[in-house]
Amino acid sequence: MDNKLLDARDARSRLAERGWIARGSEMFRHLPPPAAEVWLGDEKAIAAGAGRAPAGAGWTLHALEGLPQGRVDARWLDADDAVQRKELFAGLDEAGDDDAAPFAWAHRALCRNGLKLQIGAAPDEANDAKGAAQTVFLELRHRPRAAVEAPLLVLELQAGVHCVLLERHELEEHEGDGGTRAATVVQNLRAHLRLGDGATLAHLRFVAPGAGDRIAHQLRVQLGRGARYDQALIATGSAYHLQRSVIELDQAQAAVHIAGLSLAAGTTLDQQVRVAQSAPDTSSTIEGLVLASGAARTVHNAYTRIAAGADEAITQQRLVGIPIGGQARLVLRPQLEIHHDKVQAAHGATWGALPEDALFYARQRGLDAPSARGLIVQGMATALLERCLGGPELLQTLGLGPRLAQRVAHQLAVPAPAPAPAPTAPTRPEAPHG
């Protein structure tokens, strides 16, 4: 029996012993995931090698025109090959005992292909004329290749490298290999990101599944000393959609900022962010803006644990939920677990309608009510992402403004507003503070 099948059966055995995610599980009790069978696919087909995904399992790399590319070592590995499977999973942490561990075992049982990336500065362009390190720009896209799949991404960013990664999962826009997209997609994706000492990664993620898709994306991020990870996520809802990021700050002066924009129109969307700060001088910021309409069910779980000995650790959590219309259900859960005295910590959540003063001001400019709402929501969303990415420059460089406007307009079911001349007074009200 080959290694792939043994590994898959071991994962299924572990699932059988542990059981699937319990309905009372702390992180999933407000939005339980579909049963294990949904994520495992057909075991007989796997054993027979049927439905094998093409090399790369849907991952493609793209250069961003006019921006530095650096040195990228990319390997598309076949998990059906014993040697390549060993390389693909080498050094990856086990699922552990947290609430989401069953997703990891289901992934191991089904994973067929993966992409390993090593990113560094180009040797002849590592520094500019003034000796400052260049930033590497990269775009990564994934498209579904099977009705049930478990993609894997392993990314290693070398010490001192500064990288901007645009990652796109716009599933509703893609077609399958046969010329038509599967009616629905089940996707259990895992990504392992490792940042070397002093490295920085600005990670922009677009995830837009089809309305009937069931999606679970889990990211595990490890940071070296003085490394920084900023993730700006724009996600839309589906039949089931989980976005979960687990970040380990176990090296001094490491920092993370996660900003999630959740857009659910009659669909479900669960964003979970867990940060463990166990080293001194670490910092974490978790922000979320949840917009829900119709019969949407949305959850945003933010959980930060500061361990004993984490001197001068800083953590902030700020979650905002806005029901746009209908009978949407929003659950916001900022949570702190602190085992050390010498820290700075703040958290809060705000739930409610759009600010009336901002709506009044927009209407005074001659906008109708839907356009006014769209302008305010887009301003709040843009401000959220800019805070994560250190200002407007990166969004402008990548030309992401129109894409964001399109997503917000779809959420509000109104046309995207036409660009207007720059006003003399501010038109982007701040999101309400929790």
Q: pLDDT averaged over the chain?
A: 85
Q: What whole-number distance in Å separates Cα of residue 277 and Cα of residue 35?
A: 32
135-142 vs 59-62, strand pairing mode: antiparallel
Q: What backbone phi and psi angles, to 5 degrees, belong to 5? A: -70, -35
Quick check: 83 and 43 in contact, CB under 8 A?
A: no
255-265 vs 283-294, strand pairing mode: parallel
The two structure tokens encoding residue 192: 């392992």
Quick check: 154 and 115 in contact, CB under 8 A?
A: yes
Q: What whole-number distance in Å separates Cα of residue 310 and Cα of residue 339?
A: 9
Whether residue 264 sits in one domain with residue 234: yes
Whether residue 110 sits in one domain with residue 77: yes
> What is residue 2's predicted lDDT score, i.e. its pLDDT?
58
Query: Exposed, middle or buried, 432 (CB in 10 Å: 0-12/13-18/19+)?
Result: middle
Which residues make Cβ contacts (< 8 Å) with residue 55, sequence separation at least 6?
A: 76, 78, 113
- What is the tally of structural domains in the chain? 2
User: Is pLDDT above 50 for 288?
Assistant: yes
Q: What whole-number distance in Å separates Cα of residue 63 and Cα of residue 18?
A: 43
> What is residue 116's predicted lDDT score, i.e. its pLDDT?
94
pTM of the predicted model as reported, rounded to 2 decimal places: 0.88
pLDDT tens string 223-263:
999 999 999 999 999 999 999 999 999 999 999 999 999 99
Whether residue 399 sits in one domain with residue 293: no
- Write down which residue in 309, 325, 353 finishes a domain: 353
Q: How many Å separate Cα 26 from the centre of its chain?
A: 20
pLDDT tens string 365-407:
888 877 888 888 888 999 999 999 999 999 988 888 888 888 8
Quick check: 215 and 38 in contact, CB under 8 A?
A: no
Quick check: 332 and 262 in contact, CB under 8 A?
A: no
Quick check: 274 and 248 in contact, CB under 8 A?
A: no
Whether residue 372 sits in one domain with residue 266: no
The two structure tokens encoding residue 196: 């070397």
113-120 vs 71-78, strand pairing mode: antiparallel
Which residues make Cβ contacts (< 8 Å) with residue 91, sequence separation at least 6?
A: none
Q: How many Å separate Cα 298 from the centre of its chain?
A: 15
- Write down which residue in 353, 388, 423 finishes a domain: 353
Quick check: 173 and 148 in contact, CB under 8 A?
A: no
pLDDT tens string 15-36:
888 889 988 888 999 999 999 9
Query: Exposed, middle or buried, 193 (CB in 10 Å: 0-12/13-18/19+)?
Result: buried
Whether residue 263 sits in one domain with residue 316: yes
343-351 vs 152-157, strand pairing mode: unpaired
Instruction: Tell me the three-class secondary structure of 34-98, residue by residue.
Output: CCHHHHHCCHHHHHHCCCCCCCCCCEEEECCCCCCCCEEEEEEEECCCHHHHHHHHCCCCCCCCC
Whether residue 349 sits in one domain with residue 361: no
Whether residue 403 sits in one domain with residue 348: no
Whether residue 164 sits in one domain with residue 299: yes
> What is residue 123's predicted lDDT score, i.e. its pLDDT?
59
Enclosing domain of residue 96: 3-353
The two structure tokens encoding residue 197: 């000492």
128-134 own/partner pairs: CB under 8 Å, 24+ apart: 133/160, 133/161, 133/162, 134/68, 134/70, 134/162
Whether residue 377 sits in one domain with residue 300: no
Q: What's the average model confidence in pLDDT over 106-127?
A: 80
- Write down which residue in 303, 324, 353 finishes a domain: 353
Q: Give the range among 192-201, 264-273, 353-362 with minimum mean pLDDT.
A: 353-362
DSSP SS3 for 214: strand
Whether residue 270 sits in one domain with residue 380: no
Whether residue 388 sits in one domain with residue 339: no
Whether residue 294 sits in one domain with residue 145: yes
Which residues make Cβ contacts (< 8 Å) with residue 275, sequence separation at least 6?
A: 247, 249, 256, 258, 284, 286, 303, 304, 305, 315
